[in-house]
């Protein structure tokens, strides 16, 4: 059953000048990609990020780290976008078609937004699909089967690392700048499927709110920002987002 949504929220979706969206792992959960912090199913409930997701971990044990990320790459290759990804791609098209601006910022490394048709996605934490040589910085798109050797090597002989951002590393400068610009320029900010505890990404919500944007939070759980959001919807994004779009755009 479609849940009733606040009329101001539906109106904001239809008429905002600039919609900025921040997504986290929750948006891909219904595609079968594990989140990080969910108590039983999250990756960080089963693995220690210090052993896998830091430059020091790669230095200490490049084989272990490369193998773990390559397994994630291969498992994400079997996943397809869900109704939440598709709804966000639709709202992007609708917003642009009516002359509005739309910025999709993601912390996800799976590229399922792009697979659903979203364009110009800002990837704050990089991607599993591009690996980079630690010596010559050459990047290679890796869409093939699992690597045959761990760690794999670049043609220059250097080790290849996954193109994701690890704990203790800076976010890609241009991506962060673009995201911050969108957060301060938008009049509607959607925070979808993120625990909102990892900075600087989580700071975008406050930035948007301080700059005057109204904020929608979609998550099955409370987040640190739920209480401060203009609207907070409890539930799975793959269910809520299509319902929201249908309420906003078919009831006109
Ligand atoms: P988290 O695992 O921290 O949070 C996922 C959020 O998604 C939680 O708040 C869940 O309640 C919510 N969630 C679960 N299922 C959902 C669903 N079906 N629909 C909507 N929401 C759902 O993931 P992120 O916030 O993305 O960084 O984590 C941020 C960063 O921390 C990640 O990019 C990663 C991680 O360590 C790096 O690896 C650098």
The pLDDT profile of the chain, 252 residues, written as one tens digit per residue, is 456 899 999 999 999 999 999 999 999 999 999 999 887 788 888 888 889 999 999 999 999 999 999 999 999 999 999 999 999 999 999 999 999 999 999 999 999 999 999 999 999 999 999 999 999 999 999 999 999 989 899 999 999 999 999 999 999 999 999 999 999 999 999 999 999 999 999 999 999 999 999 999 999 999 999 889 999 999 999 999 999 999 999 855
**Is 121 a member of any domain?**
yes
Whether 37 is covered by a domain: the verdict is no
Among 164, 188, 215, the domain boundary falls at: 164
In this structure, the answer to whether residues 181 and 207 fall within a common structural domain is yes
Shared domain for 136 and 208, answered yes or no, is no
Distance CA 79, CA 178 (A): 28
- How many domains does the chain contain in total? 2
The answer to whether the pTM exceeds 0.75 is yes
Nearest CA, atom 33, ligand 1 = 107
Q: Whose CA is nearest to atom 11 of ligand 1?
A: 221
Q: What integer pLDDT is reported at residue 250 of this predicted model?
A: 85
Say if residue 104 is in the same domain as residue 212: yes
Asked if residue 205 and residue 95 are part of one domain, the reply reads: yes
- Whether 96 and 49 map to the same domain: the answer is no
In the set 18, 85, 113, 125, the catalytic residue is 125
Same domain? 69 vs 182: no
CB of 221 closer than 6 A to ligand 1?
Answer: yes
In a domain, 85, yes or no: yes
Specify the pairing of strand 139-141 against strand 126-133. Answer: antiparallel
53 CA closest ligand 1 atom index: 38
Domain membership of residue 19 (yes or no) is yes
pLDDT for 251 equals 53
Distance in angstroms (rounded) separating the CA atoms of residues 199 and 75:
26
Quick one: 208 and 237 in the same domain? yes
Angle between helix 173-185 and 203-210 (nearest 10):
30
CATH code (residue 153) = 3.30.1600.10
- The CB of 55 under 6 Å from ligand 1? The reply is no
Which CATH number do you get for residue 226? 3.40.50.1220
Distance, CA of 117 to CA of 69 (rounded, Å):
25
On whether residue 2 sits in a domain, the answer given is no
Q: Exposed, middle or buried: residue 199 (CB in 10 Å: 0-12, 13-18, 19+)?
A: exposed
Instruction: Answer whether residue 1 is part of any domain.
Output: no
Q: How far apart are CA 179 and CA 123, in angstroms?
A: 9
Q: Which residue, judged by its Cα, is nearest atom 25 of ligand 1?
A: 194
If asked whether residues 232 and 138 sit together in one domain, one would say no
- Clarify whether residues 149 and 55 are in a common domain: yes
- Give residue 165 CA to ligand 1 midpoint distance, Å: 15
The CB of 194 under 6 Å from ligand 1? The reply is yes
Ligand 1 centroid–CA 23 distance in Å is 8
Q: Which residues form the domain of 140?
A: 42-78+129-164
Q: Are residues 114 and 90 in the same domain?
A: yes
Residue with tokens 């990892």: 198
Q: Is the beta carbon of 198 within 6 A of some atom in ligand 1?
A: yes
Residues 242, 135 share a domain: no
Choose among 160, 149, 163: nearest CA to 111. Answer: 163
Tell whether ligand 1 has an atom less than 6 A from the beta carbon of residue 109. no
Report how far residue 127's alpha carbon sits from residue 205's, in angstroms, rounded to the nearest whole number. Answer: 22
* Ligand 1 site, residue 223, Cβ cutoff 6 A: yes
The reply to whether 125 belongs to the active site is yes
Question: Whose CA is closest to atom 32 on ligand 1?
Answer: 107
Same structural domain, 58 and 74:
yes
């Amino acid at each position: 059953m479609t849940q009733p949504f606040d009329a101001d929220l539906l109106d904001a979706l239809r008429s905002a000048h600039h919609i900025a969206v921040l997504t986290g792992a929750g948006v891909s959960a219904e595609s079968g990609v594990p989140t990080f912090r969910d108590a039983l199913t999250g990756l960080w409930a089963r693995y220690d990020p210090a052993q896998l997701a830091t430059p020091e971990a790669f230095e200490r044990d490049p084989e272990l780290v490369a193998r773990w990320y390559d397994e994630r790459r291969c498992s994400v290759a079997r996943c397809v976008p869900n109704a939440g990804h598709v709804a966000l791609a639709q709202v992007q098209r609708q917003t642009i078609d009516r002359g509005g601006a739309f910025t999709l910022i993601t912390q996800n490394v799976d590229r399922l937004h792009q697979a659903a048709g979203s364009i110009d996605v800002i990837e704050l934490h990089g991607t599993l699909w591009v690996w980079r040589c630690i010596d010559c910085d050459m990047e290679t798109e890796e869409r093939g089967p699992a690597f045959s050797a761990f760690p794999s090597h670049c043609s220059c002989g250097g080790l290849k690392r996954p193109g994701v951002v690890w704990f203790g590393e800076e976010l890609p400068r241009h991506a962060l700048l673009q995201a911050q610009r969108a957060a301060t320029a938008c009049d509607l900010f959607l925070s979808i499927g993120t625990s909102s505890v990892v900075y600087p990404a989580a700071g975008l919500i406050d930035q948007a709110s301080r700059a005057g944007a109204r904020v929608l939070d979609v998550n099955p759980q409370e987040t640190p920002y739920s209480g401060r959001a203009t609207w907070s919807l409890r539930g799975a994004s793959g269910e809520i987002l299509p319902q929201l779009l249908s309420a906003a755009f078919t009831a006109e």
